[in-house]
Amino acid sequence: MQMLRTLCFIGAILISVSTVGAFEKGQSGIGFFGSAHVPVFNFGNWYSASPKLGVSYNYVATSRIVAEIEYHYSKMGGGDLDTRRFRWSVDNNEHLSPQVTQAMAFNSISASGIVHLRELGSSGMTPYLSGGLGLFWYQNEVSGLIFPGQTGTTLDTSLLLPAYEDDWPALTAMLAGGVSIATSDRFLIDIRGRYNIMLGELRPLEDWGLLKTFPLQSFDLVVGFKYFW
C-alpha cells in the first residue's frame, strides 16, 4: 500500500511537470537551498563535509538564462586538531594538545548566470550549466596548541602557541551543473553540483601534518526551491 501511494505521488509530479508552460522574460524569484559543503584537497585535511544554508534572488533574463544572486552560510565541522599529535624533538615522542579548539565559518555572496540547455519549463525538467564569481568571507580560529619548539626535560603543556584567526574575504569562482525541475510556471526545484575555488589560504601547521592550503577548494551538493512571480 505504501509503495502504491509513493508511485501515485511520483506519477502526479510527473504529470504536473509535463504540462508546465515556459517561464517568461522578466519574472523574478526567491530561492532557498540546503547543501553538503565538501572541502577537497588540503582543505579536506582541515575539515569534513558540513551543511550549508542559503537564499537567492533570481531573474529570468531570457527563456533559457536566469541571473542569480546568492547568500549562504556554512559552519565547518570535523576539525581534528584535538586528535592530531606533534613530535617533540626532546623526547622524540608524539603528544596531543589537550586544550586545542578550532572553528571555521563562511559568510558568502555571489552572482551567477544559469544557462539552460533548452527553454526553461517547456519540458518540466531542464539541465543547465552555471558559472559565477563571489566573495567568500571566512573565519578560521585556532587556539590551545602546545608550543612544539620548547626545550627542557619535561614538556610544558601550559606553554602554548598564540591563538590566531584567519579572517579574510576571498574572491571565488564557481562552476556548476544541474537540473531545474518546473512543477508550475512559478515553482522550480533546483538540484546541482558546484565546484568552488576560493582565493584564500589557511596558514600551515606542519608539526601537525597540515600543509599550507591555497586556494581553498570545495564541492557543493545542492537541493533548492525557487518561487517566481
E strands along the chain, which residues?
28-40, 50-60, 65-75, 86-88, 93-95, 101-116, 125-143, 164-182, 187-198, 216-228
**Which residues lie across from 39 on neighbouring strands?**
218
CA distance 183 to 187: 6
- Say which CATH number the domain at 77 has: 2.40.160.20
Question: Can you tell me the mean pLDDT for 198-214?
Answer: 93
Answer whether residue 86 shows pLDDT above 50: yes
Q: Which pLDDT score, from 0 to 100, does residue 4 have?
A: 46
Tell me the C-alpha distance between 183 and 198, whole Å: 34
Q: Which residues contact 6 (CB under 8 A, 6 or more apart)?
A: none
Q: What is the pLDDT of residues 135-179, one digit of tens each?
A: 999 999 999 999 999 988 889 999 999 999 988 899 999 999 999
Three-state secondary structure call for residue 9: helix
| CA dihedral for 226, 221, 63, 15, sign (positive or negative) | negative
Q: Say which residue the cell 572541502 belongs to.
A: 39
Per-residue pLDDT, averaged over 175-200, amounts to 93
Residue 10 has pLDDT above 50, yes or no: no
- Residue 208 located in a structural domain: yes
Q: Is residue 218 part of a domain?
A: yes
In a domain? residue 3: no
d(CA 68, CA 56): 7
The three-class DSSP label of residue 44 is: helix
pLDDT digits (tens, 9 = 90+) for 101-114: 999 999 999 999 99
Burial 124-158 (b: 16+ CB within 10 A, else e): bbbebebebebebebebebbebbbbeeeeeeeeee
Structure letter (DSSP) for residue 185 = S
With respect to residue 5, please indicate whether it lies within any of the assigned structural domains. no
| Interval 216-223 mean pLDDT | 96
pLDDT value of residue 103: 95
Structural domains in the chain (count) = 1
SS3 call for 136: strand
Full domain range(s) for residue 159? 15-228
> At 68, phi and psi to the nearest 5?
-130, 130
| Residue at 24 is within a domain | yes
Residue 10 included in any domain = no
CB atoms within 10 A of CB 170: 20
5 has a pLDDT exceeding 60: no
Q: Is residue 129 part of a domain?
A: yes
- 37 pLDDT higher than 80: yes
Residue pair 97/144 in contact (Cβ under 8 Å)? The answer is yes
Q: 151 forms bridges with which residues in the sheet? A: none
Does some domain include residue 73? Answer: yes
> Quick one: DSSP state of residue 78?
-
pLDDT, tens only, 50-84: 999 999 999 999 989 999 999 999 999 888 999 99
Most confident by average pLDDT, 20-24, 26-30, 130-134: 130-134
At residue 2, the pLDDT reads: 54
Whole-number percent of the chain with pLDDT over 70: 90
Question: What values do phi and psi take at 18, rounded to 5?
Answer: -70, -15
- Torsion over CA of 6, 12, 13 and 15, rounded to 10 degrees? 140
